[in-house]
Amino acid sequence: MRIACGIEYDGAGFSGWQRQDRARSVQAEVEAALSRVADQNVRVFCAGRTDAGVHASWQVVHFDTTAARSGRSWVLGGNANLPDEVRLLWTRQVDDGFHARFSARARSYRYVILNRQVRSALLRHHVAWDHRPMDETRMQAGARYLVGEHDFSSFRAVACQAKSPLRTVRWISVKRSGDYLYLDIEANAFLHHMVRNIAGVLMAVGRGEREPEWVRDVLDQRDRTQGGVTASAGGLYLVGVRYPDNYLIGASGVLPCYG
């Protein structure tokens, strides 16, 4: 049978989602925990691989197994064998046509920026920080150029292995709550470092170093060297994965909100 799972994790202590030799990964921890519950080797496939230090409130995975367990058993047994930074939220049986990655129609991320003079002691691994004042209205004005289908070569990592740089951003918003800025974005899929590179460009606009129209210029140049700084990983959260309605899988998890 094929089982889908929802997972949340604090990525600060991991080298990323993907299993790696001699490095701690979320995937390896999840597979080890589920394998103990199933009493057989389990391999999981995720909706979106997150980088080192990136968090998730709504990662979706699937795995195949011949072990008959209730949903409650998968969740309780899995969590009993997981480190404190990782938790299974739910499981449900799905048909063999479901794939956590390829069945997904959209993914959404939230990027959190603490914008004040002093860095946070409590959230140092969970928000980006910039002491320079930023104007969220300027950032939103620049962000509107990213909506729609575009070649996002200027916003992809040099090492990105995606076959095509074309992606469709369905919506993007930048809002402030006290000292915190929230960048929310949904797209059909994302390139490696795409959200963090977008955040870096918009932060420069917010600080007044560039005009909002610069975002359009960076996009049109299709050249990563024109895209500015890659924002830090700690402020990034995978918060939603959208599937066709027939799978009965919710679209999003808890949004990190600090102010």
The tens digit of pLDDT for each residue in 180-194 reads 999 999 999 999 999
Per-residue DSSP letters for 167-200?
EEEEEEEEEEETTEEEEEEEES---TTHHHHHHH
pLDDT value at residue 61: 98
199 CB burial (10 A radius; 0-12, 13-18, 19+): buried
What per-residue confidence (pLDDT) applies to 228?
81
Report the pLDDT value the prediction gives residue 155, as an integer from 0 to 100: 96
* CB within 8 Å of 164: residues ≥ 6 apart: none
β-strand 166-177 against 86-94: which pairing, if any? Answer: unpaired
Active-site hit among 10, 21, 39, 51: 51
Rounded-to-integer distance, Cα 181 and Cα 128, Å: 10
- pLDDT of 247 reads 94
Domains, the chain, ordered by start: 2-103 (3.30.70.580), 106-239 (3.30.70.660)
Does the predicted TM-score (pTM) go above 0.85?
yes
Please state the rounded mean pLDDT for residues 79-101: 97
In this predicted structure, what is the pLDDT of residue 115? 98
Annotation marks residue 51 as catalytic? yes
Q: Is 168 a residue whose pLDDT tops 90?
A: yes
Mean pLDDT of the chain: 96
* For range 9-26, the mean pLDDT: 95
Residue 159 has pLDDT above 90, yes or no: no
- pLDDT per residue over 204-245, tens digit each? 999 999 999 999 999 999 999 888 889 999 999 999 999 999
Could you give the dihedral angle defined by the CA atoms of residues 115, 116, 117 and 120, in that order, rounded to the nearest 10 degrees?
A: -90
Copy the structure tokens of residue 146. 């990213």
Residue 174: the pLDDT is 98
- pLDDT at res. 161: 86
Q: pLDDT category, 4, cuts 50, 70, 90?
A: very high
Q: Is the pLDDT of residue 134 over 90?
A: yes
Read off the pLDDT of residues 37-86 as tens digits, 9 standing for 90 and up: 999 999 999 999 999 999 999 999 999 999 999 999 999 999 999 999 99
The whole-number pLDDT of residue 175 equals: 98
